[in-house]
Amino acid sequence: MSTIHPRRRRAFAMAGAFAAATLVLGACTNSSSGDSDTSESIGKSNTDNDKSGDKVVIGFSAPAADHGWMGSITKSAVAQADKYDDVELKVAEGTNDVNLQISQVETFINDKVDAIVLLPFDGAAMTSVARKAMDAGITVINVDREFDSPFAARTTVLGDNYGMGVSAGTFVCEDAAGKKGLKVAEIAGIDSLPLTQERSKGFSDALKSCGLKVDNRVAAEFTVESGEKAASNLLQAAPKIDYLWNHDDDQGVGVLAAIKNAGRDEFTMIGGAGSADVMDAIKADNSVLKATVIYPSTQAADGIKLARLLVQGKSMSDLAEIEVPRQLKLAAPIVTKDNVDTYLPSAFRS
């Protein structure tokens, strides 16, 4: 791994204060049985959890793979399930139709699966059917978009949207240290979504720490087309930009096209989500793209692992707690040319 510049180290440390640490799910330990001494089992590390156990049937449903990150969510979940000979994964067709996704979960309930890993198109709309599954004795793992009720899922796996904004803003503050009169721009995702609002708040809060603010902001829709249109509007409205944070690397393909068409290259751009295409550009260091913030596309894969642990009555070896936690929030680290080789192997393609 490349040596991280001292200034970058401080940036990562600041971001780490806001972003939850990633929990390692690979090595886990069996929970204590009725015949064992609980005090002896707590804190013990046992890496036998990946060994074959009782068969677990898991239903999986996610939105349509209409961009790279969402496509990687499903691919990663399937790949994770394939690693276990004791897991049977039933994958529903990806859909952005809430009623169809509700129907998919009802089918899993009727099939009496052991667990359901669900990334809802709309968390609020899927809450009722998820709770129905839990009431039927099925273990539900909620991924990325939270349900409205804590009773609708046993465990929730989340990315850190607020932490993404903090990481991006912290990078700007550290990179701009000592400079005056800087202009910061932001291209958000869908403004009505809580995740977009959280990302923007984190970015704004981090910028305040160094006396900066967002001077120009537009919203897109997480698509290439919307990214290009939003960026074109922004570039016309902002003749001076020093830093630009784009929330999503998929829509960033369009953002970069607009930047090229406008002939603008005077600013530093930070991406969001962590696509391999953006990391390639960061590594090449020949464009405005200098960093991106990770939003893990492994969340559903973690959901598969957790569903298997829960159904088989196991827990996590990296914790003293003998039960799988109710919520896991994954980290939102910043990726630059100094550490890109660490993150590139697990990145998704836009």
Q: Which fold has domain 21-150+298-328?
A: Rossmann fold (3.40.50)
- 13 token code pair: 């440390």
**pLDDT at position 172, please?**
98
pTM for this model (two decimals): 0.81
- 127 token code pair: 């809450």
- 237 token code pair: 């409205």
Answer yes or no: same fold for 21-150+298-328 and 161-294: yes
Location of structure tokens 């009623």:
99
- 80 token code pair: 């994770």
What are the structural domain ranges in the chain?
21-150+298-328, 161-294
How far apart, in whole angstroms, are the C-alpha atoms of residue 58 and residue 117? 7
CA 272 from centroid of its chain's CA atoms: 10
Q: What is the 3-state secondary structure (H, E, C) of the chain?
A: CCCCCHHHHHHHHHHHCCCCCCCCCCCEEECCCCCCCHHHHCCCCCCHHHCCCCCEEEEEECCCCCCHHHHHHHHHHHHHHHCCCCEEEEECCCCCCHHHHHHHHHHHHHCCCCEEEECCCCHHHHHHHHHHHHHCCCEEEEECCCCCCHHHCCEEEECCHHHHHHHHHHHHHHHCCCCCCCCEEEEECCCCCHHHHHHHHHHHHHHHCCCCCEEEEEECCCCHHHHHHHHHHHHHHCCCCCEEEECCHHHHHHHHHHHHHHCCCCCEEEEEECEHHHHHHHHHCCCCEEEEEECCCCHHHHHHHHHHHHHCCEEECCCCCCCCCCEEECCCCEECCCCHHHHHHHCECC
List the Cα angle 225/261/68 in 5-degree steps.
35
**pLDDT at position 47, please?**
57
**pLDDT at position 41, please?**
34
- Could you say which architecture CATH assigns to the domain 161-294? 3-Layer(aba) Sandwich (3.40)
How far apart, in whole angstroms, are the C-alpha atoms of residue 75 and residue 37? 40
| Regions of the chain where pLDDT drops below 50 | 1-46
**pLDDT at position 317, please?**
75
- 34 token code pair: 């009725």
